[in-house]
Structure 1
Amino acid sequence: MHAQPFPVDPAIPARLAALTPLQAQIRADALAPIADPAHLRAHGRRISADHAAKVVARHGLSGVEELMLLLLPDAAMVARPPISGFTVGTVGREAVSGAITLGGNIEFPTAHFGHAIHGEGFVTTRAFLRGEALSHIALTAAMPCGHCRQFLSEFMAAPNLRLIDPAGHRMSLNDVLPGAFTPADLGTPGANPAAQLQSVALADPSQAPAPVAELLITAANRGHVPYSNCPASLVLEMADGGLVWGTGIESCAYNPTITPAQAAVVMLLDHGMAYGDIRRGWFARRAGAAVDLSLATQELLGRLAPNAPLTMMDLN
């Protein structure tokens, strides 16, 4: 990594170095709930604020931020970078619940680069699907790429976001993206994960089982799509009969947008499932809208689960 032009707190890497003999024990303690397959399937790679606080107290850590830094190697295990071989692990802290979530970068061979999910985008998207914004993101180096800086600036909570790394950096988004182009420049307030932002329904709900139809509507209404006004959602049925879903998170700069298919992949991987577990999907969008993600969704799902049928449905 290149040198960063920002001040560091040398006490942070010193403390992490002093904890080296205990790191495996601390990380195992923190990840104990996730080690249970049933817990992982139900809750994903999410460590509750209560459990995190107990781990911090048991091991005499300086705080949750230090625990997040210690968990970066485990977050990197989530990454799937078969094209670049460049692994990124990220650990996010939810602003309201205080829970910790782990994520990594995801690449898709034979699909175009636009489908790739960056590590920062993974944890931010997973929090969004839970109705949460992030207060902190821990990274191996607290310098998100330009794509991620722009995506992170989309959120109403962006001014309060802090980026931390094991070198001792602690920065705001404004530090790494001064003079940002933000939703305010387009007259919108930014993404609020806790809000229901749309009010749409399915034109023909009978095209999907009732639980799927209901989830398609819920997901579409949760989307942040103020620039296209084209809500969309994807629901995937998994091998065990469970459902994962995704919705859109648009960026004022357009390209860093997270699509429903990307969001569904984030949820799928977060809960310890594999692409081969996908049995079928349903995609809902407004037919004839200015932005139609049908082809993009078909492409990505076709790469991940080529034998899984995808039903296209219309939203009113």
Structure 2
Amino acid sequence: MAHFSKLSSEQLTSCIAHLSTPLREQLTQFVLAADFEACLSKSQVDALLSHYPDNDTSAKHQLCRDLIPLAQSYSKAPISSFYVGAVAMGESGRIYFGANMEFKGMTLAQTVHAEQSVITNAWRHNETKLVMLAVSAPPCGHCRQFINELNGASDIDVLITEQPTTRFADILPMAFGPSDLGISDRLMNSPLNAISVESDDQFVKQTLQAAQQSYSPFSHSPSAIGLKTSQGTYFGRYAENCAYNPSLSPLQGALIALHLCGDDVTAIERAVLVEHQGSRVSQQKTTAQLLNLIAGASLETHLAK
């Protein structure tokens, strides 16, 4: 697996210079470890919390806020030069990082927002519920709609730089969600899709597994992307939204994983799409176009039954 951070020790130090020396030293040890994947385990989070006066909810809030500059440093914004970082704490006690990603020369619709990034990161680490979300800038309407797809979204503590803590329900009044369409499934917490592909290729099988875990209760179009480089393999699951437009494509999900693991999109050697045969939504055309633009890579498509 590729190493998450491409930051040098000096760059990392500048991101966390505002922290106390003991906290800074321990965090540096965690982030520069070879197996760091944009996620802090519960034991690591507990170790970091020990440096705060009180190990309670307020300390967890402050830790998430303190980690925002670190998340922000992984922003890729060649179009806007607006660098957004997001930090989320899951019900498990783990902490996840995310940042916005833009693709120069591609439509703005392909942009990944920091909130989408951190949610996808938590989902790929098998988190099922978030309790805190810290962001360097107020979530836009697009992101608020995306967050609203989560289980227990209304109770998430939202922490915006230099603003008081608020509940998510307070920043999305009169919300439209899955329940309005009679859907009980939620992003990060939904049943597996019963689909299969006839293939002996292990990478295709892994991509199929990701497609089985994808979330598409509105169009019933499960899909996933697998990306392979010389450094590692990365998978993205389709994450649908009841309002449709904030949906996150499987390629965007895979690129989030690749980027947060410190790999390079230009190093993609193989790309595999698995989607359900006859789906009302197909990822094939837009995926192939974006892959060709950012990596010069071709796309293999395997139809599931």
1:251 aligns with 2:241: yes
Q: Which deviations, in whole Å up to 9, do the C-alpha atoms of 1:104-147 show, x marking residues without a partner?
A: 11001111111111011110111112221321111124x21000
Superposition CA RMSD, Å = 1.9
Unaligned runs of 5+ in 1: 1-18
1:182 offset after TM fit, Å? 0.6
Of residues 52, 57, 66, the one that matches 2:45 is 52
Structure 2 residue corresponding to 1:231, chosen from 195, 198, 222: 222
SS of corresponding position for 1:58: coil
Q: Aligned partners of 1:232 and 1:59: how far apart in 2?
A: 43
What TM-score results when the alignment is normalised by the length of structure 1?
0.85
Once the two structures are superposed, residues 222-280 of structure 1 have per-residue CA deviations (whole angstroms, 9 ceiling, x without a partner) of: 1110111011111111113x211011110000000011001001111121111122111
The total of aligned residue pairs comes to: 286
**C-alpha spacing 1:190/1:145, structure 2 compared with 1 (3 Å):** farther
Q: Does the 8 Å contact 1:105/1:118 carry over to 2?
A: yes
Which residue of 205, 211, 216 maps to 2:199? 205
CA drift of 1:29 comes to 2.1
Match of 1:30 among 27, 43, 58: 27
Cα distance in structure 2, aligned partners of 1:21 and 1:268: 28
**Aligned-pair CA distance for 1:170:** 1.2
1:186 counterpart = 2:181:
yes
Query: Residues of 2 paired with 1:310 and 1:140: CA distance?
Result: 35
Give how far 1:24 is off: 6.2
- Residue pair 2:136, 2:160 contacting (<8 A) in 1 also: yes
Question: Quick check: 1:87 aligned with 2:78?
Answer: no
The AA in structure 2 aligned to 1:106 is: M
Pairwise CA distance, 1:218: 1.0
Q: Distance in 1 between matches of 2:52 and 2:176?
A: 42
Give the one of 169, 177, 189 matched to 1:174. 169
How far did residue 81 of structure 1 move?
A: 0.5
Asked if the contact 2:291/2:298 (under 8 Å) is kept, the reply is no
Identity %: 28
> How far off its partner does 1:23 sit?
4.3
**In the aligned structure 2, how far is the partner of 1:223 from the partner of 1:130?**
14
- Structure 1 position 276 matched with structure 2 position 266: yes
Q: Residue in 1 aligned with 2:7?
A: none
- Counting only pairs closer than 5 Å after superposition, residues 1-316 of structure 1 correspond to structure 2 as 22-23=19-20, 26-36=23-33, 38-40=34-36, 44-60=37-53, 63-95=59-91, 97-132=92-127, 133-141=129-137, 143-202=138-197, 204-206=198-200, 209-210=201-202, 212-240=203-231, 242-306=232-296, 308-316=297-305
User: Which structure shows the higher helix fraction?
Assistant: 1
**Unaligned stretches of 5+ in structure 2?**
1-15
Q: Which piece of structure 1 moves more, 54-63 or 67-76?
A: 54-63
TM-score normalised to the size of structure 2?
0.88
1:113–1:25 CA distance, 2 compared to 1 (3 A) = farther
Alpha carbons of structure 1 residues 69 and 293: separation in structure 2 relative to 1, 3 Å = same
CA distance in 1, matches of 2:136, 2:106: 27
Q: 1:28 to 1:116 in 2, by over 3 A?
A: farther
- Supply the distance in 1 between the matched residues of 2:145 and 2:106 (Cα, whole angstroms): 23
